[in-house]
Structure formats: C-alpha cells, structure tokens
Amino acid sequence: MSNDRLKAFVEKVGSFKDVSYVAVSSEGLPYMIKGTERENAEYVAAVASSLYDRINELTMALNLGKEERSKIYYPEDYHMLLFKKDNFVVAIKYDFAIDKLIEALTNNLLKGIEVRCPYCKNDLSFDVVKCPKCGERLPFTEPKCWNCGADLTLKECPHCGNLIYYNGQKPSFIKLLIYKLKRIFGG
C-alpha cells in the first residue's frame, strides 16, 4: 500500500506555523511526526490509536453515530483533529483560527484529490494560497474564497507562478487573455 499521499500531507501541514504537530501512528506505534511540539507529538502518536478507538466507542455508545473524524477542543484556542487513513491514525494539533483550512486539506487527503501543476509538476493538493481580495488562507484546490466569495478558479502556481486552474488544468490562450485584461481594467 502506498502512503505517499499521507507523507505529502504531513510534510505540508506539519510545516504551518499555526500547527503544533501532525502525529501519525500505525498499529499503536509512532510512524511519522512533524511540527514544533515534538515531545507532545511523540506521546500523542503513541496513544492516538487507542484514543481514536475510545472516542468512537463513546460516540457509538451515546448514539452519536460513527464519525470518520473526531475533534477535541482545547481550552486555550487549540483544536485537535483525529482521523483514520487506511491503517494509520492521524492527530493534528492546530490553532482554531485555521480550522476550516485543516478540514479542507484533510478532505483532499481522504477523498484522494490530487492536483499537480501542468508546468512544473509540483504537487498542489496540500498547498495553501492567500485570497488576493481579503487575504484568507485557502487550499490551492478551492475554486472560490470561502470568506469573501472571490472567484479563484484561475490562480498562480505557488511554485512556478504560471496561471492554472484550481484542478490543475491549463487555461486556454483566450482564457489567459481575458484574465489579464480583467486584471488591467478591473472587474
């Protein structure tokens, strides 16, 4: 089984400044760790599988249904997201302000969404861009700003700067021309 996608996710998300750590465990053993709070992350990785199972037992017992992910709310503005990917359990501790971003990137991982730049071939599935209108941080794969509604179907690749679609497609010459004219004249 390939876990390249999971590795790419951990590398990207674990390097955000508002993510304390991403801890991955497999069969109860720490497997991958990225982030600043290394000691805590190692501990969490060691207990993540049993923590995940216990939370699921509880939600089942309380008739809250089977959740594929669980979230823990810390009192000091942090959240922890726990989810399963194949036989790995992933725990992410992050600043609550980026809740929507973490959820969206996790969706990309769990739904197997893979976007590559057609020019430089870089993996954009877990890349983050800023909305040019309001500054909100969004996944590259988002076609529209969820904060201000700006149309972000076409944007620059964060690696090579070429204009591409949110799904990795190359725009036609006409589309590029319209985009550039709109930038010049507004609208």
CB of 141 to Zn ion, least distance (A): 14
User: Which residues contribute to the site for Zn ion (CB under 5 A)?
Assistant: 117, 119-120, 131, 133-134, 136, 145, 147-148, 150, 157, 159-160
Task: State which residue, 119 or 179, has the beta carbon closest to Zn ion.
Answer: 119
Task: State which residue, 159 or 170, has the beta carbon closest to Zn ion.
Answer: 159
CB of 9 to Zn ion, least distance (A): 19
Exposure string over 98-115, b if 16+ CB within 10 A, otherwise e: beebbebbbebbbeebbb
CB of 130 to Zn ion, least distance (A): 9
Task: State which residue, 64 or 160, has the beta carbon closest to Zn ion.
Answer: 160
- CA quadruple 28, 32, 35, 39: dihedral, nearest 10: 40
Task: State which residue, 3 or 153, has the beta carbon closest to Zn ion.
Answer: 153
Residues in the chain: 187
Quote the tokens at residue 49: 């599988």
CB of 116 to Zn ion, least distance (A): 8
CB of 125 to Zn ion, least distance (A): 13
CB of 100 to Zn ion, least distance (A): 12
Task: State which residue, 81 or 157, has the beta carbon closest to Zn ion.
Answer: 157
Task: State which residue, 84 or 144, has the beta carbon closest to Zn ion.
Answer: 144
